[in-house]
Amino acid sequence: MSATSAQRTNLFNLAKPGMEQFFVGLGEKRFRAQQILKWLYHQQVDRFEDMTDVGKSLRVKLDELAELKLPQLIHEQIAADGTMKWVLGLDGGNAIETVYIPEADRGTLCVSSQIGCALNCTFCSTATQGFNRNLTTAEIIGQVWVAAKRIGSVHRDNRLSERRITNVVMMGMGEPLLNFDAVTDAMDLMRDDFGFGLANRRVTLSTAGLVPGIDALSTRCDVSLAVSLHAPTDELRDTLVPLNKKYPIAELLAACQRYQARRPRSTITFEYTLMKGINDHPEHARKLIKLLRKVPSKLNLIPFNPFPGTQYERSTPEAIEAFKRIVMSAGLIATVRRTRGDDIDAACGQLVGQVLDRTRRSREHKAKLEARANAA
């Protein structure tokens, strides 16, 4: 008798060690793990019957005991600049968002780690949707799998130059370090030669500043680290990133220094979203210089992406350029992230919030907007 779907093992949930254990448990040799991984990630096959060098008896056994379950593409937007954004459907009527940003020398995929987010950063579109649950490893690596297949299909259909995923950033919906095991297993698959084979430095985890998670990551994965700083003082960061009340800036920077000590070849990037009149004054830049002098790093200045109902505005180009000029004059390495996909709901979490809106906080947020409009 075949196992039910709930009893079957989704092989997309297994990094290489788990895959080896699975096949040993079936009485098979360990090399079967590499064989199946190559079919899943090199050939992008998602049916056992298409794995032609796997014996028929093993394929039958896999059909009974395992499954290959991926997120389902339910909505796609393609911007004029080539940015691609997808809403992917999951169990229980939930959905997540994944974004691909093509550039001349790279193709970066922004991957989600949770359905919604519980950290409630005040300038984040995802925060308006509340938190539902953590994603599984299969749902995280599945975003890379679906995106890679879709990117190839779209560019073949449109006869455009070949695009591929060269970089992955855990910077989509959710706080990755609050879903530690599933995220690190997925990052293993991104970097494994039998997975997507990305170099360590081309996989980046972005955190709002979960200090224990940064310490745990430094002993678990050799990946690049990005920290969402967004303010040079605790007073301002407490407002923008409420997690700062638990892990203030001094503790966060100390954790970053420990990360660098344990992973000296890894890169740390501080992300700083520039919002008009909030954190973009020259005095903010000067305070930021004092903070980051002791932490070798790069500074990524991000023009704010507005979304419906937000109280914040994007800083002017003049203010952004002045901010960059001040920090670079002090010797910091700073770049301004070019805004991408403005014509396709650019803010992270915005598209999924429009396509599938099921959380309590999102409904409350809409009610507040309607009340504000009625009172005007």
Does the pTM exceed 0.85?
Answer: yes
Tell me how many helices (H) and strands (E) the chain has.
Answer: 12, 14
Tell me what pLDDT residue 358 has: 43
Strand ranges in the chain using DSSP code E only, listed in sequence order: 9-10, 66-67, 72-78, 84-89, 95-102, 107-110, 114-116, 131-134, 167-170, 203-207, 224-228, 268-274, 298-303, 333-336
Residue 5, pLDDT > 70, answer: no
Q: What does the DSSP assignment read for 215-281?
A: HHHHHH---EEEEE---SSHHHHHHH-GGGGTS-HHHHHHHHHHHHHH-TTS-EEEEEEEBTTTT-S
Residue 361, pLDDT > 60, answer: no
Q: With pLDDT > 70 as the criterion, what percentage of the chain qualifies?
A: 85
* Residue 95 three-state SS: strand
Residue 186, pLDDT > 50, answer: yes
Domain 72-367: CATH class, spelled out:
alpha beta
Residue 160, pLDDT > 80, answer: no
List where CATH 3.20.20.70 sits in the chain: 72-367
Per-residue CA distances from 138 to 11, 86, 213, 279, 368 (Å):
8, 17, 21, 38, 36
Rounded Cα–Cα distance for residues 157 and 96 (Å): 25
Q: What is the mean pLDDT of residues 230-242?
A: 97
The model's confidence at residue 154, banded by pLDDT at 50, 70 and 90, is low
Tell me what pLDDT residue 359 has: 42
* Topology of domain 9-67, CATH: DNA polymerase; domain 1 (1.10.150)
Residue 220, pLDDT > 80, answer: yes
Cβ-contact 142, 149 below 8 angstroms:
no
Give the number of other Cβ atoms within 10 Å of residue 152's Cβ: 14
Tell me what pLDDT residue 181 has: 98
Q: Which two tokens stand for residue 347?
A: 């803010």
Rounded Cα–Cα distance for residues 287 and 285 (Å): 5
The model's confidence at residue 80, banded by pLDDT at 50, 70 and 90, is confident
Rounded Cα–Cα distance for residues 357 and 178 (Å): 23
Element (H, E) at 366: helix 360-375
Tell me what pLDDT residue 159 has: 43
> Rounded to an integer, what is the distance from CA 213 to the centroid of its chain?
16
Set 20, 67, 97, 175: catalytic member: 97
Give catalytic status of residue 348 as yes or no. yes
Cβ-contact 38, 194 below 8 angstroms:
yes
Of the listed ranges 8-22, 139-153, 208-222, 362-376, the least confidently predicted one is 362-376
The model's confidence at residue 161, banded by pLDDT at 50, 70 and 90, is very low
pLDDT in tens, 261-315: 999 888 799 999 999 999 999 999 999 999 998 898 999 999 998 888 889 999 9
Set 117, 121, 124, 348: catalytic member: 348
The Cβ-side half-sphere exposure at 4, using a 13 Å CA radius, reads 2
224-228 sheet: strands from edge to edge: 72-78, 84-89, 95-102, 107-110, 167-170, 203-207, 224-228, 268-274, 298-303, 333-336
The Cβ-side half-sphere exposure at 79, using a 13 Å CA radius, reads 19
What is the DSSP secondary structure assignment for residue 49, as one 8-state letter?
G
Cβ-contact 188, 195 below 8 angstroms:
yes
Between the two ends of the chain, the Cα-to-Cα distance in Å is 64
pLDDT in tens, 246-271: 999 999 999 999 999 999 888 799 99
Q: What is the mean pLDDT of residues 238-243?
A: 96
Of the listed ranges 76-85, 109-118, 200-209, 363-372, the least confidently predicted one is 363-372
Give catalytic status of residue 64 as yes or no. no
Residue 98, pLDDT > 60, answer: yes
List where CATH 1.10.150.530 sits in the chain: 9-67
The model's confidence at residue 363, banded by pLDDT at 50, 70 and 90, is low
Tell me what pLDDT residue 321 has: 97
- Check residues 352 and 187 and name the one with the higher pLDDT: 187
Q: What is the mean pLDDT of residues 185-197?
A: 97
Tell me what pLDDT residue 193 has: 96
